[in-house]
Each structure stands twice: as C-alpha cells, then as structure tokens.
Amino acid sequence: MREINTAEFNEEVLNSGKVILDFYSSECPPCDALAPKFEGLSKLYGNDVKFMKIFRQQNRELADQLGVKSSPTLLFYVNGKEVSERLAGGIKRSEIINGLDSMIPEARVKEIKSHIKPIVSEYDAVILGGGPAGLTAGLYLCQAKVNTVLIDLALPGGQVSTTHEVSNYPGFIDPQPGYMLSHNMSEQTKMCGTIYKVAVDVTKIDLEKKEIIVDELETIKAKKIVIATGTSPNPTGAEGEKIYKGKGISYCATCDAKYYVDKEVIVIGGGNSAVEEADFISRFASKITMIHQFDKLTANATAQEKLFNNPKISVLFEHEPRAFVKEGDKMIAEIENLKTKEKIKLSADGIFIFIGMKPNTDLFKGVLDIDQWGYIKTNEDMKTSIPDVYAVGDVVSKKYRQITTAVADGTIAAISIAKELS
C-alpha cells in the first residue's frame, strides 16, 4: 500500500493494471473508519491488486475531475478503466471485498480466502456501538475490572463525532468540537482497558447465545451484551437519493462542507441538526437554500435566530424534495410545493440532508421488545426483554435523546452488569 499524488495518478493508477484507490480526507470519521479495513485487506489482496491512497484535500483538482464528491471514496481500476461500483461514506469491509473479488479470477479468490482462519474470543461483556453511551459503559466496566470489548462498525464517537459543535455538555464553558469530545471519551475508555474492535462488519448476532461474529472470521462470546447501536440519518426517500449518496448528496457537514467553498448548497430539513449544520456549512458555501416541509422551523429559538441573521441562508417553507438528478457538475433537486402541488427545480453544487434519525435496530426486530417507532424497550437498569442483554443511548425507547442522557444510560447498565458479575 502506498500514497500517491496527482502527478503520479496516470502512471500509478491508469497504467498500472489492477488498482484500488482511496480518496481520503483529514478530520473525517468515515475515512478513519475505513483506514484499518483498507490496510488489512491490502495484506490479503496486495499481491493481486495495488492499494493506493490519495489525500483529497491536497489533490482537489483531480478529485473534481474524477467526480469525487465525498470522503472517503474508493475507485477500482483495471488497465486504466474504472470497474465495479464506487464506494463512498461509511464503507463496509464486505463491500470492498466484493469489488476486489470482481477484479481477479474466482480460483484466486478462493485461494486468498482459504488463508483466513476463524477466531473465537471470550469476554465478560461486549458493547455493540461506540457512541457516548457505549463508551461510558465501557469506561465504567473496565474500571470495575470487567473484561470488556467494544465493537463498532466505524470509529468510536457515534453521531457526536460528526457534529461540528457541542455547546451544552456539562463541564465545558466554551462549545466543544464534536469530534474532539468523542475523541476524548474514546481515549479515556481505551486507556482504561476496554478492548476495541472497530471499523468492522458485524456478520451475525445471536442475543440468546451471547455470540457475535465480526468480519465473517471472529466469533466473540460474552456473558453480557450491551446494545448501544444508536441512530442513523433518515433518508428523504426521493428518487435518485440512493444513486447520488456520496456523489453530490451528503449527510455529514463536518466531513464534506469544506469542499463547497464559494459554492451553492441545498439543505433539506428544519430541525436543530439542519439549522445548526446549515450555519456551519455557511462558513464555506456562498449560498444555502433550506427546504423545509412545515411553515415554521422546528429548531430551538437560539439556533433559528442565528440562522435568520445569516445573509447566506434562505428558507423555502412547505416544500419537499421529490427527486434528485445530476446534470454535469450540478445537482438538481425537484421540489414540490405542498400547498399548490407545483414542482420546481433547484440547481446547486451539493445537497445535504438532515431530517432526523432512525434507530439502528434492524438486527433485533422480532427478537427484542421494540416500541412502535423501532426503539428498544428497557427497564430502569437498562435491561431488555432478553436476560443479560442491555440497551443504552439513542437506540432506547425514551422521551429525550441527548449526549447527557446517553452517558447516563451507559453508567446505569455498566453498574448493573458489574454488580451481577461480582
């Protein structure tokens, strides 16, 4: 695996047989999550495919020329031609493997995978998810000398790590960058002794047997399981959204706003996240048009006041997106007026979507007791309907979801587990 720049692109990528190229950025949680997967797979496939990395921020002209609009983005080349589907954003290990497998003979794929040896690991407690709730549970458990492993599909930090500023976390007079608050939490838990298995794919979860398989090669067994899988951004469901995710449509201002300097942007949403992230994007973009389905914003008064005083931002009320298409370098959003049903088209350089979150509970439906909105039901000790399985943080059925309520959940579950195991 090696790093290249724009001057080396033709020789090292287009004239170099089979190549996988990673466009990455700094201060980019999805890029950090991808890095260990990319490096690990280079050791397996490196004799057949060349693994290359390129720093997007220092090679923007090349990125724009190739239509790379998001970090990270993986491109697959064979003899100078791009093959396989581009991968962007939160990239799974299995997705990369599928792309690599398509580039080499089937017999060679089988040979490579024959070198992968299954592993079995045992712990007292396993935490699924590395947001504030999971990190706090890990901190309390390791301080109680409970042998604990934390598993996350990305790097620890959760949604907080993609929030540009947190102004209401106790103990900090000045607003804190979300990524730094997450980093500090993660480092504190790791230094305490919690084992991290992050940037992995969770292949299978058996809550009854307390077994979890990661990356199709390691089976992790535990006496207790803490579910801290959090939430994910809601999609609009509009036509074209899936196609252009990571190719002009983004859900992370912290990751991608810096690539829209002096450009025009559309923001979908009107709650706290949308308003606060629009304000952050305005540090880079020249013009922002917000699309909101209601006749008023739903963000708090302070955030609204700041937004309405920002000359770069305008709001189109009572409209919803119906389709997204790409014309050249521009993203086109087809917007419907909810009163008149009239549809108009808005052109922009990029689109950001912030319309709330959904619980990451797909793996647990039909297994755990879940409320009508998809959140996991727990008792006062954060226990779920299955013995020795706990749930904490935003994935839990409750009235309020804040960083402070998440860390409280993690504390309660960890103390309960530590007492039971002792």
Residue 18 CB partners (closer than 8 Å, separation 6+): 48, 49, 50, 77, 78, 79, 103, 104
State the CATH number of the domain containing residue 133: 3.50.50.60
351 shares its domain with 367: no
State the CATH number of the domain containing residue 13: 3.40.30.10
Residue 345 lies in a domain: yes
pLDDT band at 89 (very low <50, low <70, confident <90, very high): confident
131 shares its domain with 225: yes
153 shares its domain with 106: no
> Taking residues 98-114, what's their average pLDDT?
94
> Are 57 and 25 spatial neighbours (Cβ–Cβ below 8 Å)?
yes
State pLDDT tens for residues 285-333: 999 999 999 999 999 999 999 999 999 999 999 999 999 999 999 999 9
> Are 23 and 62 spatial neighbours (Cβ–Cβ below 8 Å)?
no
340 shares its domain with 371: no
**Starting at the edge strand that comes first in sequence, how are the strands of the sheet with 319-327 ordered?**
319-327, 330-337, 343-348
Distance from the Cα of residue 407 to its chain's centroid: 20
> Taking residues 93-117, what's their average pLDDT?
92
> Taking residues 4-9, what's their average pLDDT?
96
Structure letter (DSSP) for residue 261: T
- How far is 288 from 271, CA to CA, in rounded Å? 16
- How far is 122 from 15, CA to CA, in rounded Å? 47
Residue 314 lies in a domain: yes
State pLDDT tens for residues 266-280: 999 999 989 999 999
Return the bridge partners of 383, or none. Answer: 390
Number of domains in the chain: 3
Count of other CB atoms within 10 angstroms of residue 26: 12
Residue 238 lies in a domain: no
Residue 64 lies in a domain: yes
State pLDDT tens for residues 218-231: 999 999 999 999 99
335 shares its domain with 373: no
> Are 303 and 272 spatial neighbours (Cβ–Cβ below 8 Å)?
yes
pLDDT band at 37 (very low <50, low <70, confident <90, very high): confident
pLDDT for residue 155 is more than 80: no
Range of the domain at 338: 249-355
Count of other CB atoms within 10 angstroms of residue 318: 15
228 shares its domain with 373: yes
258 shares its domain with 395: no
378 shares its domain with 313: no
135 shares its domain with 160: yes
State pLDDT tens for residues 205-256: 999 999 999 988 899 999 999 999 999 889 999 999 999 987 899 988 877 8
Domain boundary among 113, 145, 171: 113
Residue 10 lies in a domain: yes
pLDDT for residue 339 is more than 80: yes
Q: Is the dihedral of CA 359, 362, 364, 368 positive or negative?
A: positive
Query: How much is the pLDDT for 29?
Result: 65
- How far is 204 from 220, CA to CA, in rounded Å? 10
DSSP string for residues in 383-421: B-SSTTEEE-GGGB--S---HHHHHHHHHHHHHHHHHHH
- How far is 209 from 278, CA to CA, in rounded Å? 45
Q: What angle do CA 154, 228, 184 make, to 5 degrees?
A: 60
100 shares its domain with 151: no
Domain boundary among 313, 332, 355: 355
162 shares its domain with 181: yes
54 shares its domain with 32: yes
Residue 372 CB partners (closer than 8 Å, separation 6+): none
